């Protein structure tokens, strides 16, 4: 495929199926995503959950995988804003000078936007292949609301006050 992009998809691991859904949706539009993010197999997820993998090891692995990507995509779902690793990945993407694109999952709301994305995001689009492709390609796309309507210049990204 001529339209191939290397991305790192930052997401809550409970949303792994949405990562697959995103790549399938974009493939139908003739756009191939090569995702370098971590999607843990059940045995590896167990090791992560039991904290048997040192944090410095995870950070090194994530940095290596992210450095390969041209864009960091953040899937924004109902619990994304509660995930410290998602915020860490967004902050790291900013440090590495990566384009940071937020994509609302179906059912995602403006209250689900991670704080780091509110600080550093470059584009925010609804679950729509044309909008997602434009955002990844670096086109000057306006920030959207979950329903695809445009955010007004004065619209602040709402914070839900949840620090968990």
153 in a domain, yes or no? Answer: no
* pLDDT for the residue numbered 107: 85
* pLDDT for the residue numbered 111: 87
154 in a domain, yes or no? Answer: no
**Residue 143 DSSP code:** P
* pLDDT for the residue numbered 67: 93
Three-state SS for 129? helix
156 in a domain, yes or no? Answer: no
Three-state SS for 75? strand
pTM (2 decimals)? 0.85
155 in a domain, yes or no? Answer: no
The residue behind tokens 């953040």 is 74
Q: CA 17 to CA 99: how far, in whole Å?
A: 23
* pLDDT for the residue numbered 97: 96
163 in a domain, yes or no? Answer: no
143 in a domain, yes or no? Answer: no
* pLDDT for the residue numbered 39: 65
- CA 140-75-114 angle, to 5 degrees, is 90
The total of structural domains in the chain comes to 1
* pLDDT for the residue numbered 164: 36
CATH number at residue 13: 3.40.50.9200
Q: Are 76 and 108 in contact (CB under 8 A)?
A: yes
150 in a domain, yes or no? Answer: no
* pLDDT for the residue numbered 95: 97
Residues of the chain with pLDDT under 70: 1-2, 39-45, 153-164
Q: Are 126 and 106 in contact (CB under 8 A)?
A: no
29 in a domain, yes or no? Answer: yes
| Full residue range of the structural domain in which residue 11 is found | 4-136
């Amino acid at each position: 495929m001529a339209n191939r992009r290397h991305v790192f998809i930052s997401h809550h691991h409970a949303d792994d199926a949405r990562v697959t859904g995103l790549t399938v949706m974009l493939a139908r539009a003739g756009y191939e995503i090569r995702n370098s993010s971590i999607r843990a197999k059940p045995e590896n997820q167990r090791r992560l959950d039991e904290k048997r993998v040192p944090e410095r090891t995870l950070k090194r692995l994530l940095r290596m995988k992210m450095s390969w990507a041209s864009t960091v995509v953040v899937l924004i779902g109902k619990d994304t804003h509660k995930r410290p690793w998602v915020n860490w990945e967004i902050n790291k993407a900013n440090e590495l000078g990566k384009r940071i694109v937020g994509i609302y999952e179906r059912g995602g709301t403006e209250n689900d936007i991670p704080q780091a994305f509110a600080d550093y995001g470059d584009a925010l689009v609804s679950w729509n292949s044309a909008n997602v492709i434009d955002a990844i390609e670096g086109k000057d796309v306006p920030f959207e609301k979950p329903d695809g309507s445009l955010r007004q210049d004065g619209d602040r990204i709402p914070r839900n006050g949840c620090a968990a």
